[in-house]
């Protein structure tokens, strides 16, 4: 689940021991609240997990800018414009956001970064800008054109190819505004530059994603101990959010119950947990901006044989996807491996239901969903530094859905999970 592109609906470590979800056990032992705080005691006892977090260094951001400039030379682009979005944070560490007024930065093919800013925002911008990447701020008054400033920076830094790149999140009115005045220039997609940098994670980025994953597992472990018969999905989601907060992070999860678990992104229908229900949890947090994304599917009480069988097929599909991840293999081949397991078990082919209705996995990093994907037709070669989710859902409309999701990174020796896989339907934590 993406923390930027999709909003959430909503400890004592258990190790690898059995996690039997008996409604009676939960009601009597695991949902005890601290009366004074209103918070379940298992969540209130959590301690912050913020020690040892190392932010991305200035030198690493400088290396990212240098790589972007190398890619611009290869792609014959004179410079790229980026709004104050995630990619701006990636290169400069600055967060700004988007409004109706154009604000952003130009990374030229050579030379220092320069910023384009509404004049009345200049003081705030200078507070946020790290001058080591470039301290030039070109401002526009309300009646003036920011597009002329973008073009001017490109021209002043040196023009060789007459091509201006736009990062994929730049809105049309800005790209079109530049295009209309940039006579003799071509305005092009800069995704090959930005994704060409962001897709491949450094050791420092992977360490932050590992921390986010570790925190998510601890939050889930605590919140799962509060599940009881009659609990609403919103209460469980609230407990998960409280657990993240106690751990020192902002996070949450989508909670989907019973037949609604067959809908991969849930339903607006309010749901209540009862014994025998499938419960699908999908969410995470971020650490210095780097996301986790973990799904677990359990049953409150004793699973039926049908629930157990489908869960086991899902686990086999997740295992098959992981086994197919080889350096140099295509992303398509990973999706095929997982889908083949599900189809061989008698479920629908391709995306037909009941079966796997979506890709097997997505890229992950500063955003919960980013480049690239385990999906049919994606011939991108698996290489060190890439990070993905592995989540081949099985959806059975009107009955239930099972999703097991763990994210992974590609090291020089192949794939590594950030989180331990579920062991069984009774043991959601490895």
pLDDT tens per residue across span 82-114: 999 999 999 999 999 999 999 999 999 999 999
Q: Do residues 206 and 387 touch, judged by C-beta distance below 8 A?
A: yes
Is pLDDT of 349 > 60? yes
Dist. CA 171–CA 167, nearest whole Å: 9
pLDDT tens per residue across span 280-336: 999 999 999 999 999 999 999 999 999 999 999 999 999 999 999 999 999 999 999
List C-alpha distances in Å: 110 to 14, 198, 295. 53, 20, 43
What 3-state DSSP class applies to 67?
Answer: helix
The token pair that represents 235 in the structure block? 């209460």
Dist. CA 356–CA 319, nearest whole Å: 15
Q: What is the pLDDT, as a whole number, of residue 37?
A: 60
* Section 373-394 average pLDDT: 98
pLDDT tens per residue across span 155-164: 999 999 999 9
Q: Domains in the chain, ordered, with CATH?
A: 23-51+201-417 (3.90.230.10), 78-189 (3.40.350.10)
For 272, residues 6+ apart whose C-beta sits below 8 A from its C-beta are: 230, 231, 232, 233, 257
Q: E strands along 288-347, which residues?
A: 290-291, 294-299
pLDDT tens per residue across span 7-45: 333 322 223 333 334 333 333 333 445 544 679 999 999
């Amino acid at each position: 689940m993406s923390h930027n592109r999709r909003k959430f609906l909503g400890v004592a470590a258990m190790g690898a021991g059995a996690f039997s979800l008996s409604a009676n056990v939960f009601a009597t032992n695991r949902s005890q609240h601290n009366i004074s705080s209103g918070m379940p005691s298992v969540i209130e006892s959590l301690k912050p997990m913020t020690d040892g977090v190392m932010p991305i260094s200035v030198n690493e951001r400088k290396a990212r800018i240098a790589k972007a400039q190398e890619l611009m030379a290869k792609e014959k682009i004179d410079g790229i414009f980026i709004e104050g979005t995630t990619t701006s944070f990636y290169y400069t560490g600055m967060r700004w956001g988007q409004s109706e007024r154009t604000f952003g930065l130009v990374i030229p093919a050579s030379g220092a970064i320069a910023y384009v800013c509404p004049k009345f925002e200049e003081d705030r911008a200078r507070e946020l800008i790290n001058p080591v990447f470039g301290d030039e701020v070109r401002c526009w008054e309300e009646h003036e054109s920011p597009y002329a400033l973008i073009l001017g920076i490109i021209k002043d830094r040196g023009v060789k190819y007459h091509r201006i790149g736009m990062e994929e999140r730049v809105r049309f009115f800005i790209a079109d505004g530049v295009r209309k005045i940039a006579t003799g220039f071509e305005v092009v997609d800069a995704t090959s530059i930005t994704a060409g940098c962001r897709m491949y994670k450094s050791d420092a980025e992977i360490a932050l994603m590992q921390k986010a994953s570790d925190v998510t597992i601890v939050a889930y472990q605590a919140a799962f101990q509060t599940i009881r018969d009659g609990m609403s999905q919103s209460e469980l989601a609230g407990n998960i959010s409280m657990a993240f907060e106690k751990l020192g992070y902002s996070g949450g999860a989508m909670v989907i119950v019973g037949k609604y678990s067959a809908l991969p992104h849930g339903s607006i229908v309010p749901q209540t947990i009862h014994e025998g229900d499938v419960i699908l949890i999908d969410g995470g947090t971020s650490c210095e901006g780097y996301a986790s994304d973990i799904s677990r599917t359990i049953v409150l009480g004793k699973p039926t044989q049908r629930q157990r069988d489908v869960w086991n097929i899902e686990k086999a599909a997740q295992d098959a996807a992981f086994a197919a991840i080889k350096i140099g293999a295509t992303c398509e081949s990973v999706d095929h491996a997982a889908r083949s397991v599900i189809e061989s078990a008698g479920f629908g082919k391709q995306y037909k239901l009941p079966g796997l209705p979506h890709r097997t996995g997505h890229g992950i990093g500063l955003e919960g969903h980013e480049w690239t994907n385990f999906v049919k037709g994606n011939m991108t070669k698996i290489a060190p530094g890439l990070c993905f989710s592995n989540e081949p859902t099985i959806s059975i409309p009107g009955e239930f859905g099972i999703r097991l999701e763990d994210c992974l990174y590609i090291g020089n020796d192949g794939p590594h999970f950030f989180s331990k896989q579920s062991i069984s339907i009774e043991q959601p934590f490895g």
